[in-house]
Amino acid sequence: MTSKASIDFIIVAFRNSLSDIEQLAESLVSSANRNNHASRVIVVANDDDAYTATGQRLVIQGHGNIGFAAGVKLGVAASDADFVVVVNPDCLADEAALARFFNYLRPGCGVVVPRLLAEDGSFDYLPYENWTYSIGRKIAELRCRRELSKYRGGTLPSFAKIPGAFIGLERGVALDLDAPFDTAFFLYAEDRDLTDRVRARRLPITFAADVEITHIGGLSGTSVSRLVETAKTDGALRVALRRFGRLGAALFALDTLMVDTVKTVLRRATDGEAHRSAMRRWANSRFADPGALTEQELQRQMSTPRVTDSRSSSDGPPSPNRVLVLWADNSAANLGLRVLAQGNAELVREAAQGVEVDFQDFGPGDSRVSFGTRSILRDIGRRNGPIKTKLRQYDLILDSGAGDSFADIYGLKRLSFIAYAHWMARRLRIPLALGPQTIGPFNTVIGRAIARRSLRQAELVTSRDMASAEYARTVLKRSVDAVGTDVVFMLPTREEPMGTRDVIVNVSGLLWFGDDHVDSTYYQAQVRQLIEGLLDAGRRVSLLAHVVNSPSGNDDIDAIDAVSRSLDRPGIELLIPTDLDEARAYIASGRVLVGARMHACLNALSQGVPAIPWAYSRKFAPLLSAVRWTHVFDLREKDDVATSTIEMILDPVQSAVLAAEALDVAASARDSMAACVDVFASWFTVQRADGSSARRAAVDAPIAAA
């Protein structure tokens, strides 16, 4: 088959996920090759990450952060293809969409742009908005949202601009257009300028409405970074100058100051200092072009302090020493939440010395503040609301996900609490990290959109199983930084000798009294059958509560009391721990544990005690398989789990296998947590070296109310 025109894809990368860049590059080249186009990807790295060059991937690196437009120019100069396609790192496309896009690339095509979609599948009209002043921006937003969304393709309407996220054109045309973005623009607004120059030359701009490309949107586009805001304002001033002269640039500055003033009065978020910083450059040149911004100039402006903070001192920036662990509580009735609290605290303390750790659950708990509905309502619209005031005290927000709550299967209400805390951390410029946890599932469009935004915001993302890591990569489009296991394996092991007790059975009040997960009648019958079978075989049984003194009632204490009374068998010991340490001591004294509370089972395995989990949700399987523990029965299948469990315990060969494998699990799981410790240790090292927490502290005071 005759080869078609050659295509080079240009990706300008800056602090993007290496794996995401490689996956994007592979998908672009594979699609082009399957459509018989000779192609390669040119990665222009504006950072010093270790990108991999291959036969069809050229990496240009070592020039530093020269900005997007200059990066594209390097890529075009290195290309020898018939066509070039500029692709943002945050774009996703399937092979069918790319094949249709390739069909538009032919001599004389001018500039071709696709139909961009947001994460939820709706039309992403923002990249097409063409404006100069604030009133024009509102009009452009309205027309792009209402009219362009229904446009069936053809010449791009005059009210819209070329979206710089994904464009294709002949390489010769790109060179004639200054390759094709003007390098006077460091970041943002270069596509508005390109649109003006393309139309001035009467080159066609084709809107390929049948080509749908998902545009996730990078952090630079969604954050309130002072650097980004400065670059945006500088670019917008340059567009105003080129369209309407020096008076036009001065009018834009006045327009921006008025908008910032109104937002301040209305207590809306605005980065007025970044805007004024950019405008001072232009005012000093009397609104003639002051020259292109550089990274050094932007960094100098960004590092200039705006206010002082009580934690700053003349001795230099403080280290990031205060960490808040979200959705964990060291005084919770559910001892699993105490595991999350103490385990995440141990993870942080092992990663960095001298760190203070506090805990915040959805309710007050260890904290005096709730992060629930009432506190959110009191926090919205207030500069010093209860949640903002709480978060401002910390240098890192570590989200435990309550183990498995970073999902929408528990309802959007709980997810909205998590999302609001993340949003406030972003507004206050406090780094967010996700500790080892289950990620997903997200079965709703809004749930997936919230999750993707949180993962893009997070500086570190860790998971406690490979299934979560794969879900984050494929569905949420964010590769995790490390895969460990549950933080229970960070806890110190007990010295108490094993075997002083025989079989410990954890009875779940959640399953005994409710039908939300499994049929309670079935569960009750299986528990009674298990205990009676063990007692009849001459084994000693202790019943363990793992959720104690719950204010909502019907906890594990109520459940083990109900079991004991219903059986009326002598010799059944009831174990009601007063805290996590006592619970782990009880568990360490057993020969084997059977339980429906996952952290009761994990408390056993982390101490080398065999556990036979009775699973009731998806969180059990991936986590336990990750530590290579396969001795699990699923209550949802409604099998005779009691008989199978009794047979396993009474069989001396199987019991010996359980004991040996449990010791291996405890050792290997602790080793697997080293990867999580390492990424957190690296993060703390970098933060303490560059004093970023001090910069964050210096700017958090003037943040406007949400």
Are residue 516 and residue 658 in the same domain, yes or no?
yes
Tokens matching residue 123: 């039309």
**Looking at the domain assignment, is residue 430 inside a domain?**
yes
**Looking at the domain assignment, is residue 317 inside a domain?**
no
Are residue 339 and residue 471 in the same domain, yes or no?
yes
What's 637's DSSP letter?
G
Tokens matching residue 71: 């990066």
| 675-702 residue pLDDT tens | 999 999 999 888 876 654 444 444 343 3
The pLDDT of residue 320: 60
Are residue 383 and residue 479 in the same domain, yes or no?
yes
Are residue 347 and residue 409 in the same domain, yes or no?
yes
The pLDDT of residue 583: 95
Q: Is pTM, for the whole model, over 0.95?
A: no
Collapsed DSSP state (helix, strand, coil) of residue 114: strand
The 10 Å Cβ neighbour count of residue 355 is 19
Instruction: Give the C-alpha separation, 591 to 370, whole Å.
Output: 40
Question: Residue 198 belongs to what H/E stretch?
Answer: helix 190-200
Are residue 265 and residue 340 in the same domain, yes or no?
no
Are residue 201 and residue 116 in the same domain, yes or no?
yes
Contacts within 8 Å (CB) and 24+ apart, 187-190: 187/67, 187/68, 187/220, 187/228, 187/231, 187/232, 187/235, 188/228, 188/231, 188/232, 188/235, 188/236, 189/232, 189/235, 189/236, 189/238, 189/239, 190/68, 190/69, 190/164, 190/235
Are residue 213 and residue 232 in the same domain, yes or no?
no
Query: 643: closest CA among 534, 539, 520, 515?
Result: 534
The pLDDT of residue 226: 64
Are residue 546 and residue 659 in the same domain, yes or no?
yes
Tokens matching residue 181: 């973005």
Query: 623: closest CA among 598, 595, 594, 659?
Result: 598
The pLDDT of residue 260: 85
The pLDDT of residue 668: 86
**Looking at the domain assignment, is residue 696 inside a domain?**
no
Q: Which of 217, 238, 268 is the last residue of a domain?
A: 217
Domain count, the chain: 4
**Looking at the domain assignment, is residue 692 inside a domain?**
no
Instruction: Give the C-alpha separation, 353 to 58, whole Å.
Output: 42
Are residue 207 and residue 114 in the same domain, yes or no?
yes
**Looking at the domain assignment, is residue 664 inside a domain?**
yes
Residue burial 459-495, b: 16+ Cβ < 10 Å; e: rest? bbbbbbbebbbbbbbeebbbbbbbbbbbbbbbbeebe
Residues of the chain with pLDDT under 70: 1-3, 217-226, 269, 296-320, 494-499, 689-706
Collapsed DSSP state (helix, strand, coil) of residue 628: coil
The pLDDT of residue 242: 96
**Looking at the domain assignment, is residue 25 inside a domain?**
yes
The pLDDT of residue 623: 82
Q: Which of 251, 270, 303 is the last residue of a domain?
A: 303
Are residue 357 and residue 253 in the same domain, yes or no?
no
Are residue 387 and residue 339 in the same domain, yes or no?
yes
The pLDDT of residue 173: 97
* CATH number, domain with residue 25: 3.90.550.10
Instruction: Give the C-alpha separation, 436 to 433, whole Å.
Output: 10
Q: Which of 435, 457, 484 is the last residue of a domain?
A: 484
Are residue 538 and residue 644 in the same domain, yes or no?
yes
| 612-623 residue pLDDT tens | 999 988 778 878
Q: What share of the chain is helix, strand, coil (3-state, %, to 5)?
A: 45, 15, 40
Range of the structural domain that residue 260 is part of? 223-303
Instruction: Give the C-alpha separation, 138 to 158, whole Å.
Output: 16
**Looking at the domain assignment, is residue 681 inside a domain?**
no
* CATH number, domain with residue 562: 3.40.50.2000
Helix axes 335-351, 674-690, angle to 10 degrees: 50
Helices (H) and strands (E) in the chain, counts: 26, 21
Pairing of strands 460-463, 83-87: unpaired
**Looking at the domain assignment, is residue 685 inside a domain?**
no
The pLDDT of residue 299: 59
Collapsed DSSP state (helix, strand, coil) of residue 240: helix
